[in-house]
Amino acid sequence: MAERNTWEEKAANLLKSQLKLKGVTYSQLVEKLEAVGVHEKEANIRNKLSRGKFSAAFLLQCLSSIGVVELRF
């Protein structure tokens, strides 16, 4: 299995931290994504975040669905 690179790790950590800050679980994220027309299973989300392999579109869908309107880098 390929090692995660630094950017993949940063993206996964960014999303995980925002989920934690908003108090949103993976199962709640599934529901929130469904509400905006994105169909994912909880297991798929867990895998994406553990691997750090997901598209920028998925990242934006997740952040938008949990109500993130501003990020600071």
pLDDT digit string (tens) for the chain, length 73 residues:
455 688 999 999 999 999 999 999 999 999 999 999 999 999 999 999 999 999 999 999 999 999 999 998 7
Please report the DSSP string for 24-73 in residue order. Answer: --HHHHHHHHHHTT----HHHHHHHHHHT---HHHHHHHHHHTT------
- The three-point CA angle 67-61-10 to 5° equals 90
Q: State the pTM of this model.
A: 0.89
